[in-house]
C-alpha cells in the first residue's frame, strides 16, 4: 500500500470513528435529557393528582361512604383527564382489593406491576415498559382514605421520544454517508498533494541510484518535507562530489600506474639493450665504456625513482610528530648542500631568511627545500639565479623558492603536483627527473596543513610559495 493510500485510509477511519461516536453521543444525550424531562413532568402530574385527592380527604372522612369516595375520585379523575386531554395520557385508580375505580386505558395492563409493590404514602415510583409497539412511562402512588388504600397510576406514552430518536439516527446515517463521501474525496486530493513531494524525491532517488548524480529535487515548500528535500539535495551534492572525487582519484591512480610503468620501462629498455649489445659484441673499450655509462646512468635514474616512490608511500602511511622549530635554521643548515647543487650549473643562490617559528618535522622540510631547489636548478639556464626566502607574514610562516628559468604555462600549473606529471617532458628526462618532486612537496605541505601557491610566467621564471598556518600560542608539539 502506498503512503498516500495509508494517509487517506487511516484519516477516513479516524474521521468515521470520531464522527459516529460524537454523533451517537449527541443523539443519546439529547434523548436522555428529553426523556428525563418527560419523567419529571409525569411525576409532577402524578403529584398533582395526589394533591387534589388529599384536598378532599377531610370531606371524605366526614361522609365515610365507599360509594361517595368512588364518586369523588371518579370526578377528580375525569377533571384531570380533561385537563390533560393530549393523546398519550392515561389514569387508573384501583382500591386496596385491586378493583378498578377509574380507568381510561385503551390497552391491556401487564400482569406484573413492579411500580405498585411496597408503595408508601407520599412515595411515587415509575417504570418504562414496552407494550405492543408503544413505550409507556408508568408512575404510581398510594393514598389512604378512611383506612382504605387507593393506588393512582398515571401513565404517559413516550413512544414519540423514541420515534424521534430513530428519526435522528436515520438522518444521521444519511448525513454520515454524505459526509464520508465528501471527506473521502477531499482526503484523496489532500493525501495525493501531501505525498507528491515525497514521490518527487523517490523519483530523484531512483535517478541518482541509476547514476545521474546531478539530479536534484525542486520544491518550494518550507515545511518539514521542504527541509527534507533541502537536506536530500545537500546529501545528493555531497554524494556527487564524492563520486567525482573518487573518479578523479581513480583517474589519478590509473595515470600513476601508467606513468610508473612507462618510467620503469624506459631505463630498463636502455639497460637491457646495452647489456645485450655488450654481451653479443666483440670487446671494445670505448664501446664498453659508453654502454656502462648508459647502464649506470639509467640505474641511478631507477634508484632515484624508487627513492621518491618510497618517500610518497612513507608520507601517506606514517604519522609524524611536529616540534616547534625555526624555519630559518633549517635553511641555514642546508646552505652548504644547496650551494653545491646550484654550483654544478654555475647558478647563483641567494638567501633572504627571517626567523619563522612553527611546529614542523625537520627532515620533511629538508626534503621540500631540496626538491624545490632541484626543480628550480633544472628549470634555470647556466649562470642564472635561484632565491630562497623565509618570512613571517601576520603570524604565518612562508617558505619561498624563486627562479628565473623557463617558467610554466598556465594550462600546466594545476597539474604539476600530480605524480609523474611533467610540463616539459624533454627537459625533465634530460635531467633524470620523473615528475615526483612536487608531488612529494604537496604531500609534506598537507602534513603541515600548509597551502602551496605557484606564480609562473613562461620565459620569466617561477615562484613556489608554501604558506604555513599561524602557530597557536603555547603550542610546542603538535601531532
Q: What is the pLDDT of residues 354-389, one digit of tens each?
A: 998 899 888 888 888 888 888 888 888 887 899 999
Q: What dihedral angle (degrees, nearest 10) is formed by the CA atoms of 355, 360, 362, 363?
A: -140
- Position 476 confidence tier, pLDDT thresholds 50, 70, 90: very low
In 270-360, where do the E strands start and end? 322-326, 348-353, 357-360
Q: Helices (H), strands (E): how many in the chain?
A: 10, 13
Query: What ranges do the domains of the chain cover?
Result: 3-166, 224-318, 320-478
Q: Mapping DSSP to helix (H, G, I), strand (E, B) and coil, where does residue 344 land?
A: coil
β-strand partners of 271: none
Task: Name the residue among 236, 198, 234, 240 with its Cα closest to residue 219.
Answer: 198
Strand partners, 401: 388, 464
Q: Given this model, what pLDDT does residue 112 score?
A: 83
Rounded Cα–Cα distance for residues 232 and 227 (Å): 8
pLDDT at position 127: 92
What is the second-level CATH architecture of the domain 320-478? 2-Layer Sandwich (3.30)
For 321, 338, 342, 399, the CA distances from 330, given in Å and listed in that order, are 17, 12, 18, 11
* Residue 21 scores a pLDDT above 90: yes
**Strands of 125-131's sheet in order across:** 100-103, 89-94, 148-157, 134-145, 125-131
CB atoms under 10 Å from CB of 291, counted, come to 21
Mean pLDDT of 462-470: 91
* DSSP class of 383: T
Residue ranges of E strands in 318-431? 322-326, 348-353, 357-360, 385-393, 396-403
- Tell me the C-alpha to C-alpha distance, in Å, between residue 443 and each of 104, 323, 373, 417: 116, 18, 17, 9
- Paired with 343 in beta bridges are none
454: β partners: 464
Largest CA distance in the chain: 176
Q: Does the pLDDT value for residue 423 go beyond 60?
A: no
| Confidence band, pLDDT 50/70/90 cuts, at residue 169 | very high
pLDDT of residue 434: 54
Helix-helix angle 66-83:3-63, to 10 degrees: 140
The neighbour count for residue 153, using CB atoms within 10 Å, is: 21
Using CA atoms, how far apart are residues 39 and 164, in angstroms rounded to an integer? 16
Residues 6+ away with beta carbon under 8 Å from 95: 101, 148, 149, 150, 151
CA 41 to chain centre: 64
All cell numbers assigned to 163: 420515534
What average pLDDT does the segment 389-415 reach? 87
pLDDT band at 465 (very low <50, low <70, confident <90, very high): very high
Mean pLDDT of the 50-72 span: 80
Instruction: Say what the pLDDT of residue 222 is.
Output: 77
Q: What local confidence, expressed as pLDDT, does residue 167 receive?
A: 93
Residues 420 and 437: their CA atoms lie apart, in Å, by 9
Which residue is it, cell 369516595?
69
Determine the pLDDT at residue 174. 93
From 3.40.50.970, 1.10.565.10, 1.10.287.3510, 1.10.287.130, which CATH number describes the 224-318 domain? 1.10.287.130
The fold adopted by the segment(s) 3-166 is Beta-Lactamase (3.30.450)
| Residue 385 DSSP label | E
Domain 3-166 matches domain 224-318 at the CATH topology level: no
Query: Is the separation of the CB atoms in 323 and 360 below 8 Å?
Result: yes
Residue 63: pLDDT above 80? no
3-state DSSP assignment of residue 426: helix
Percentage of the chain modeled with pLDDT above 90:
20
Grid cell listed for 18: 470520531
β-bridge partners, 140: 125, 153
Comparing 74-88, 296-310, 399-413, which segment has the lowest mean pLDDT?
296-310
Q: Which three cell numbers stand for residue 418?
A: 600530480
| Reduced DSSP (H G I as helix, E B as strand, rest coil) percent helix, strand, coil of the chain, to 5 | 60, 20, 25
pLDDT reading at 88 higher than 50: yes
Amino acid at each position: 500500500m502506498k503512503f498516500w493510500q495509508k494517509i487517506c485510509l487511516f484519516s477516513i477511519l479516524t474521521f468515521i470513528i470520531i464522527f459516529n461516536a460524537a454523533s451517537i453521543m449527541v443523539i443519546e444525550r439529547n434523548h436522555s435529557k428529553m426523556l428525563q424531562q418527560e419523567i419529571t413532568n409525569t411525576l409532577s402530574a402524578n403529584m398533582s393528582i395526589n394533591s387534589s385527592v388529599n384536598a378532599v380527604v377531610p370531606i371524605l372522612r366526614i361522609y365515610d361512604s365507599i360509594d361517595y369516595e368512588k364518586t369523588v375520585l371518579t370526578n377528580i379523575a375525569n377533571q384531570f383527564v380533561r385537563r390533560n386531554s393530549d393523546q398519550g395520557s392515561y389514569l387508573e385508580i384501583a382500591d386496596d382489593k385491586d378493583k378498578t375505580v377509574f380507568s381510561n386505558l385503551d390497552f391491556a395492563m401487564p400482569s406484573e406491576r413492579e411500580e405498585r409493590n411496597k408503595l408508601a404514602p407520599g412515595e411515587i415510583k415509575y417504570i418504562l415498559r414496552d407494550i405492543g409497539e408503544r413505550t409507556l412511562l408508568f408512575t404510581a402512588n398510594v393514598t389512604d382514605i378512611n383506612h382504605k388504600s387507593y393506588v393512582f397510576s398515571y401513565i404517559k406514552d413516550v413512544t414519540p421520544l423514541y420515534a424521534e430518536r430513530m428519526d435522528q439516527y436515520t438522518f444521521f446515517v444519511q448525513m454520515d454517508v454524505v459526509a464520508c463521501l465528501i471527506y473521502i474525496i477531499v482526503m484523496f486530493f489532500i493525501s495525493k498533494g501531501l505525498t507528491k513531494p515525497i514521490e518527487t524525491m523517490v523519483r530523484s532517488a531512483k535517478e541518482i541510484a541509476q547514476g545521474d548524480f546531478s539530479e536534484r529535487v525542486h520544491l518550494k515548500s518550507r515545511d518539514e518535507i521542504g527541509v527534507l528535500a533541502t537536506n536530500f539535495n545537500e546529501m545528493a551534492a555531497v554524494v556527487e562530489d564524492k563520486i567525482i572525487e573518487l573518479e578523479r582519484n581513480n583517474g589519478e591512480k590509473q595515470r600513476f600506474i601508467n606513468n610508473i610503468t612507462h618510467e620503469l620501462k624506459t631505463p630498463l629498455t636502455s639497460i637491457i639493450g646495452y647489456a645485450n649489445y655488450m654481451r653479443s659484441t666483440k670487446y671494445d673499450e670505448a664501446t664498453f665504456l659508453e654502454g656502462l655509462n648508459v647502464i649506470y646512468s639509467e640505474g641511478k635514474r631507477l634508484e632515484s625513482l624508487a627513492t621518491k616512490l618510497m618517500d610518497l608511500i612513507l608520507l601517506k602511511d606514517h604519522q609524524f610528530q611536529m616540534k616547534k622549530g625555526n624555519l630559518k635554521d633549517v635553511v641555514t643548515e642546508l646552505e652548504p648542500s644547496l650551494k653545491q647543487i646550484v654550483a654544478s650549473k654555475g647558478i647563483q643562490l641567494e638567501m633572504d631568511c627571517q626567523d619563522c617559528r612553527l611546529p614542523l618535522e625537520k627532515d620533511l622540510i629538508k626534503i621540500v627545500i631540496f626538491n624545490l631547489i632541484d626543480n628550480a636548478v633544472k628549470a634555470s639556464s647556466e649562470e642564472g639565479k635561484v632565491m630562497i626566502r623565509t618570512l613571517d607574514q601576520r603570524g604565518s610562516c612562508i617558505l619561498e623558492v624563486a627562479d628565473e628559468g623557463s617558467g610554466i604555462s598556465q594550462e600546466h600549473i594545476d597539474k604539476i603536483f600530480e605524480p609523474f606529471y611533467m610540463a616539459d617532458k624533454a627537459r625533465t628526462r634530460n635531467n633524470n627527473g620523473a615528475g615526483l618532486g612536487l608531488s612529494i612537496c604537496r604531500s609534506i605541505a598537507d602534513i603541515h596543513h600548509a597551502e602551496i601557491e605557484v606564480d609562473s610566467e613562461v620565459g620569466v621564471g617561477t615562484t613556489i610559495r608554501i604558506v604555513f598556518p599561524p602557530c597557536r600560542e603555547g603550542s610546542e608539539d603538535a601531532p
